[in-house]
Structure 1
Amino acid sequence: MGASSFVAADAVADCMRGCNDMLDACSGGCSEEATTDNAYVAVCETECTRNHFYCKNKCDDLAGTSNAQ
C-alpha cells in the first residue's frame, strides 16, 4: 500500500514542475512584449502569477489524497 503514496508524490512533483515551467514560459512571454508597454507587463505578470497559483492549487488537490506527511 505504501507504494501508491510515492506515485502520488511523484505526480504532485510533476504537477508542480509543470506549473513552474508554465510560469517561466508565461513570464518570458510577458518580457517579450515589454518593448514599450510597462503597464502591459505588470498586468501580464499578474495574470501569470494568478494562473500559477491556481495551477499549484490543482497540484495540492492531487496531494490531498496522499497528504499523510
Structure 2
Amino acid sequence: LPLQETDREDFLRFAGQTGFSDSQMQLRAIEQSAQLLGATRERLEREHGEKSRMAVGLGAMGGLLLILVFL
C-alpha cells in the first residue's frame, strides 16, 4: 500500500476506538481522528506545494544548462 507507517497506525488506532457503548465517547473519538487526518492533510498539501515549486525550478535550471551546453 502507498501508506506510510504513521497512516496505518492512525487507521488502526481509529478502528480500535469504535467499540464504545456510549455514543458521545464514540463521537469524540471520531472527531479526534478527523482532526488528526485534517492535520496530516494540511501537512501533505504544504509538502506537495514545496515539491512542485522545486520541480519547476529544477526544470528551468536544466533547460538553461542545456542551452549553455548547446551554445
Give TM class, smaller chain.
0.5 to 0.7
1:65 maps to which of 41, 47, 50: 50
Give distance in 2, aligned partners of 1:54 and 1:22: 15
Larger Rg over CA atoms? 2
Spell out the pairing of 1:1-69 with structure 2 (5 A cutoff). 17-18=3-4, 20-32=7-19, 34=20, 36-67=21-52
Sequence identity (%) = 6
Structure 2 unaligned regions, length at least 5: 54-71
Shift in Å, 1:27: 2.0
Structure number with the bigger relative contact order (C-alpha 8 A, sep ≥ 6) is: 1
Contact 1:22 1:52 in 2 (8 A): no
Give distance in 2, aligned partners of 1:40 and 1:29: 13
So what's the TM-score if we normalise by structure 1? 0.57
Q: How many residues align?
A: 51
Runs of 4+ displaced beyond 4 Å: none
CA RMSD of aligned residues (A): 2.2
So what's the TM-score if we normalise by structure 2? 0.55
